[in-house]
Structure 1
Amino acid sequence: MKKDKMELKVCLVGSSGGHLSHLYMLKPFWGNKERFWVTFDKEDAKSLLKGEKMYPCYYPTNRSLKALLKNTRLAIKVLRKEKPDLIISSGAAVAVPFFYLGKLFGAKTIYIEVFDRIDKPTLTGRMVYPITDKFIVQWKEQTQVYKKAINLGSIF
């Protein structure tokens, strides 16, 4: 039986700080859906996501093979348990194992490239671009960097 929009289960994954704020701004989309979050166990995330289901991920993630391996194990555990229909991220590195493994588990993925990169790709963006179902950019100039991206403008 096909799920309706209310039954869509969403995983929102990203670093705390600006990436998490970007995802939170999408509340008109995810607010009425079953959801869970994967982010850093930091005060800003705990405050913003109070009352939300949250799985803490490992950090620092910037070019850290150790964190990537730990977050890959976490992604396997969380994705098996939660079985999301859709995974959304605006970065950063913690998104990579969730996107790749999420695809194997049958989830659709949406990546939103960060607002402050206008004409150069982020490392995470480059890594998930080949497998992402929808790649969203916020600047027209970013469509020159990511040819199959969809420019929806700023989420601010």
Structure 2
Amino acid sequence: METESKKKRVLAISSRGGHWIELIRLKEAFADQDVTYVTTVPEYQDMVIGANFRVVTEATRDNKLRLIRMFFQIFWIMLWVRPDAVVTTGAAPGVAAVWLGRRFGARTLFVDSVAACEEISLSGKLALPHSDAFLTQWQHLASGRVEFHGANV
């Protein structure tokens, strides 16, 4: 008799707006896993009904105190969830989660924003050294550890 494999715990995290929309487009990829979604907008929970959902403080590099608060919120979520994998499409929550995820022993994946078409995004540049895998949606940006996964146009 075959035993059912244990579901992986995935922390799927991003900031608001386009980063969140891109993360939600990846939902199918972890449909059979135990996913906790994290973002900065409470109303986004309606987009992941039935899934675990957490909200963290909206923060940017312009507000260091909010960044610190957000970092500690993500730290506590990591302690609670103990993810096997962290998947993010970016901005501040994603960078923090990738950095923390590595320290918690999770595999980390950063999918850079489709809007970052001329160069890797700032959050991507910050996350790259700490991510196990880094994907870009633009072929001309792929080099070294940055892998292209997108449509050839």
By the TM > 0.5 criterion, same fold? Answer: yes
Give 1:20's aligned residue. 20
Aligned sequence identity (%): 23
User: Which whole-Å CA distance do the structure 2 matches of 1:78 and 1:16 have between them?
Assistant: 18
| Pairwise CA distance, 1:42 | 4.0
What pairs up with 1:117-132 in 2 under 5 angstroms?
117-132=116-131
SS in 2 for 1:90: strand
Give 2:31's aligned residue. 31
SS in 2 for 1:35: strand
SS in 1 for 2:51: coil
- Cα deviations by residue, 1:88-118 (Å, 9 ceiling, x for unpaired): 0011111122111111110010000100111
Give 1:88's aligned residue. 87
| Pairwise CA distance, 1:51 | 2.6
Give 1:152's aligned residue. 149
Q: Contact 1:16–1:42 at 8 Å: present in 2 too? A: no
- Kindly report structure 1 stretches of 4+ aligned residues shifted beyond 4 Å: none
| Pairwise CA distance, 1:54 | 1.0
Using structure 1 for the length normalisation, give the TM-score.
0.87
User: Which whole-Å CA distance do the structure 2 matches of 1:64 and 1:123 have between them?
Assistant: 16
Using structure 2 for the length normalisation, give the TM-score.
0.88
| Pairwise CA distance, 1:81 | 1.0
| Pairwise CA distance, 1:18 | 1.3
User: Which whole-Å CA distance do the structure 1 matches of 2:133 and 2:51 have between them?
Assistant: 25
| Pairwise CA distance, 1:142 | 1.3
Any gaps of 5 or more consecutive residues in structure 2?
none
Q: What is the root-mean-square deviation of aligned Cα atoms in Å?
A: 1.7
SS in 2 for 1:13: strand
What pairs up with 1:99-110 in 2 under 5 angstroms?
99-110=98-109
Q: Which stretch has the larger CA shift, 13-22 or 81-90?
A: 13-22
SS in 2 for 1:129: helix
